[in-house]
Amino acid sequence: MKIVFQMFLVLSLVVASAGLLYYLKWRMGRANLYKLAEKLPGLPGLPLLGNALQFAISPNQIFDEVYSMSFKDEFQDVGKIWLGPRLVVLLVNPKDIELILSSNVHLRKSSEYRYFEPWFGNGLLISYGDTWKTHRKMIAPTFHLNVLKRFMDEFNKNSKLVIDRMATEDGKHFDCHDYMSEIMVETLLETVMGVKQAAQGRNCLTYALSVMDVCDIMHARQTKLWLRPDWTYKWTNMAKEFDKHLGIIMNLTNKVFMKKKEDYIQSRVSTLPAKEEKEERKKEEKKVIVQGALTNENFSYGQSAGLTDDLDVDDNEIGEKKRLPFLEAMIERAHNGDGLTDQEIKNQVNTLMFEGHDTTAAGSSFFLCVMGARPDIQEKVLNEIDSIFGDSDREVTFQDTLELKYLERCIMETLRLFPPVPIISRELDQDLPLSSRPDLTIPAGCTVVIGTYKVHRRPDLYPDPETFNPDHFLPENAASRHYYSFIPFSAGPRSCVGRKYAMLKLKILLANILRQYQVKPGKPIKDWRLQADIILKRTDGFDIALERRKHVKA
Ligand code: HEM
Question: Given pLDDT bands bounded at 50, 70 and 90, which one contains residue 323?
Answer: confident
Between 27-41, 132-146, 455-469, 498-512, the lowest mean confidence (pLDDT) is in 27-41
- Strands (E) located in 428-491: 432-433, 441-442, 447-450
**3-state DSSP percent of the chain in helix, strand and coil, to 5:** 60, 10, 30
- CA-closest residue to ligand 1 atom 11: 496
Residue 545 phi/psi, 5° resolution? -135, 135
Residue 477 is inside which H or E element, if any?
helix 475-479
pLDDT tens per residue, range 222-260: 878 888 888 999 999 999 999 999 999 999 999 999 999
Of 167, 177, 530, the closest CA to residue 368 belongs to 177
| 79 burial level (CB within 10 Å; 0-12, 13-18, 19+) | buried
Give the Cα separation of 377 and 468 in Å (integer).
9
- The domains of the chain, with CATH numbers, are 31-56+71-270+309-548 (1.10.630.10)
Q: What does pTM read for this prediction?
A: 0.89
> Among residues of the chain, what percentage have pLDDT more than 90?
66
CA distance 227 to 236: 9
Atom 30 in ligand 1: residue holding the nearest Cα? 356
Which residue from 180, 191, 355, 494 has its CB within 8 A of the most atoms of ligand 1, so it is best to mutate?
Answer: 355
pLDDT at 271 over 60: no
* DSSP reduced 3-state for 350: helix
User: What is the average pLDDT across 140-146?
Assistant: 91
Better pLDDT: 380 or 224: 380
pLDDT average, residue stretch 336-348: 91
Contact 148, 296 (CB under 8 A): no
In angstroms, rounded to a whole number, what is the distance separating the alpha carbons of residues 100 and 102?
6
Query: Under DSSP, is residue 495 helix (H, G, I), strand (E, B) or coil?
Result: coil
Q: Looking at residue 296, what is its pLDDT?
A: 47
Q: How confident is the model at residue 280 (pLDDT cuts 50, 70, 90)?
A: low
Across the range 396-420, mean pLDDT stands at: 97
Predicted local distance difference test score (pLDDT) of residue 411: 98
Residue 294: strand, helix, or coil: helix
Q: Is 496 annotated as a binding residue?
A: yes
Closest CA to 507 of 407, 363, 384, 391: 407
**Residue with CA at minimum distance from ligand 1 atom 18:** 496
% of residues, the chain, pLDDT over 70: 90
Please state the rounded mean pLDDT for residues 398-423: 97
What's the gap in Å between 142 CA and the centre of ligand 1?
14
Greater confidence (388 vs 309) lies with 388
Q: Pick the more confident residue, 298 or 235.
A: 235
CA 494 to ligand 1 centroid distance, Å: 9
Specify the DSSP element, H or E, that contains 314: none
Among 179-188, 337-346, 486-495, the minimum mean pLDDT is found in 337-346
Residues 537 and 531 sit within 8 Å (Cβ to Cβ): yes
More confident call, 199 vs 506: 506
Q: Which residues pair with 538 in a beta bridge?
A: 530
Q: Residue 502: pLDDT above 80?
A: yes
Find the 98 Cα to ligand 1 centroid distance in Å.
18
Rounded to whole angstroms, how far apart are CA atoms 398 and 388? 13
Instruction: State the chain's maximal CA–CA distance in angstroms.
Output: 97
- Note whether 480 and 130 are within 8 A (CB): no
In the DSSP assignment, the letter for residue 128 is -
Segment holding 9, helix H or strand E? helix 2-29
Question: With 50 as the cut, is the pLDDT of residue 294 above it?
Answer: no
Nearest CA to ligand 1 atom 17: 496
- Tens of pLDDT, residue by residue over 17-57, are 888 888 777 777 788 999 999 999 988 777 777 887 777 76
Q: What value does the mean pLDDT of the chain take?
A: 88
Q: Which of 231-235, 309-313, 336-340, 377-381 has the lowest mean pLDDT?
A: 309-313
Region 132-144: what's the mean pLDDT? 94
Nearest to 359 by CA among 242, 197, 455, 499: 499
Q: Which residues line ligand 1 (CB under 6 A)?
A: 124-125, 136, 192, 351-352, 355-356, 359-360, 363, 420-421, 424, 488-490, 494, 496-498, 501-502
β-strands 543-548, 173-175: how paired?
Answer: antiparallel
Arithmetic mean of pLDDT, 166-190: 94
pLDDT of residue 394: 96
**What average pLDDT score do residues 212-228 get?**
87
Q: What angle do CA 535, 539, 543 make, to 5 degrees?
A: 105
Say whether 152 sits in a helix, a strand or coil: helix
Nearest to 180 by CA among 202, 213, 158: 158
Going by alpha carbons, the residue nearest to atom 9 of ligand 1 is 489
Phi, psi for 496 (deg, rounded to 5) = -70, 125
Lowest mean pLDDT among 154-163, 223-232, 425-434, 460-469: 223-232
DSSP state of 72: S
pLDDT exceeds cutoff 90 at 344: yes
Least confident of 158-172, 322-336, 524-538: 322-336
Contact 445, 30 (CB under 8 A): yes
pLDDT at 288 (0 to 100):
43
pLDDT at site 228: 86
ipTM of model = 0.99
Which of 196-200, 319-323, 481-485 has the highest average model confidence (pLDDT)? 481-485
Predicted local distance difference test score (pLDDT) of residue 69? 80
Res 112 pLDDT > 90: no
Helix (H, G, I), strand (E, B) or coil at 384: helix
User: How much distance in Å is there from the Cα of 137 to the middle of ligand 1?
Assistant: 15
